[in-house]
């Protein structure tokens, strides 16, 4: 039977834990809002860029650009995006299990594999399993910049062009809503069809009488790497929004569990207190009875 003091100490400790989880939830919520703003800001840029690329892809003859060329697949690169820090529920576990499953199935199909990671959690995961990584970027989460996306995509493009890699696949958590994150596996390279979110009618109206400087072909080729950058940056933003959302709900659950525990232990403490009062009363009554006799 625990003493009253022990129980009171326990309640105190859980109350402190709750303070922490509650604060972390609020911090995550604030960060999520910030990332969501950035996603919104970026959409404007991404959409204009993609619509220009789309228009250009329709104009004029062009040689097949190396980034568009489909080669026989030999080496497949898997780029895994996780967070740097934990305490965000199943966020990293989900990604890493799907990633290893995907890697295993690719290996069974007989492809050479190359793995790159973003985030400390993924790096540690593969290091622990002694799986070599081609490249790892850590310390980005929380303050992703477009320059990060440029660095990562620049590296991928370089390795794709000099044929170290024949295909690049990216695995990340997509931010569906505050309560839902979805593991997404997408192909980055070679570039497939370029799609835009702009409607068909708008698309047709732009391309016609444009002056291009330099020629549309060169322009198109220069803008292709942008397409990769945009996708990488979008994935990075999605992933960090999903991370904060996952952390938010994990901390929410933790705070609720704290409440539950506090209620349970308070009940127990009251019982112990009541029992000791009853015992004391019995002693006094017993003593009084003994004196009377």
**Binding positions for other proteins, rule: CB under 8 A:** 38, 41-42, 44-46, 48-49, 52, 145-146, 149-150, 206, 209-214, 216, 219, 222-223, 230, 233
Comparing CB distances to other proteins, the nearer of 63 and 209 is 209
Comparison of 87 and 223: residue with beta carbon closer to other proteins: 223
Instruction: Report the distance separating Cα 173 and Cα 166, nearest Å.
Output: 24
Chain-centroid distance, C-alpha 189: 21
Query: Is residue 266 a contact partner of residue 14, using CB atoms and an 8 Å limit?
Result: no
Catalytic residue (one of 53, 88, 156, 168): 88
Whether 133 and 126 have beta carbons less than 8 Å apart is answered as yes
Q: Minimal distance in Å, beta carbon 37 to other proteins?
A: 8
Nearer Cβ to other proteins (132/214):
214
Query: CB of 214: closest distance to other proteins in angstroms?
Result: 6
Q: How far is the CB of 52 from other proteins (least distance, A)?
A: 7
88 has catalytic annotation: yes
Measured CA to CA, the distance from residue 182 to residue 175 in angstroms comes to 7
Q: Compute the distance between CA of residue 173 and CA of residue 85 in angstroms, rounded to an integer.
A: 15
Closer residue to other proteins (CB): 55 or 84: 55
Give the residues across from 181 on adjacent strands: 175
Strand order of the β-sheet with 167-177 is 135-137, 112-118, 75-81, 167-177, 180-189
CB of 74 to other proteins, least distance (A): 26
Asked if residues 184 and 174 have their Cβ atoms less than 8 Å apart, the reply is yes
Catalytic residue numbers read 88
């Amino acid at each position: 039977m625990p003493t009253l003091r022990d129980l009171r100490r326990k309640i105190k400790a859980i109350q402190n834990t709750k303070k922490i989880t509650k604060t972390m939830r609020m911090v995550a919520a604030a960060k999520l809002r910030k990332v969501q703003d950035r996603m919104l800001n970026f959409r404007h840029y991404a959409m204009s860029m993609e619509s220009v690329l789309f228009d250009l892809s329709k104009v004029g003859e062009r040689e097949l650009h190396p980034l568009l060329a489909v080669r026989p697949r030999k080496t497949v690169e898997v780029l895994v995006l996780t967070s740097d820090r934990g305490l965000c529920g199943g966020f990293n576990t989900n990604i890493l299990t799907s990633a290893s499953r995907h890697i295993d199935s690719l290996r069974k199909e007989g492809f050479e594999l190359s793995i790159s990671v973003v985030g400390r959690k993924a790096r540690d995961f593969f290091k622990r399993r002694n799986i070599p990584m081609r490249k790892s970027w850590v310390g980005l989460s929380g303050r992703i910049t477009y320059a990060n996306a440029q660095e990562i995509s620049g590296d991928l493009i370089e390795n794709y062009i000099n044929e170290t890699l024949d295909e690049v696949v990216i695995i990340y958590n997509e931010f569906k809503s505050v309560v839902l994150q979805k593991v997404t596996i997408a192909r980055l390279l070679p570039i497939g069809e370029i799609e835009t979110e702009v409607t068909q009618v708008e698309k047709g109206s732009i391309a016609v009488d444009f002056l291009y400087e330099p020629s549309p072909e060169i322009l198109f080729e220069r803008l292709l790497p942008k397409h990769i950058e945009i996708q990488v940056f979008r994935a990075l933003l999605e992933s960090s929004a999903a991370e904060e959302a996952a952390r938010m709900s994990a901390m929410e659950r933790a705070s609720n569990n704290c409440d539950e525990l506090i209620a349970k232990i308070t009940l127990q403490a009251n019982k112990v207190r009541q029992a000791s009062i009853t015992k004391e009363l019995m002693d006094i009554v017993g003593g009084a009875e003994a004196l009377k006799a």
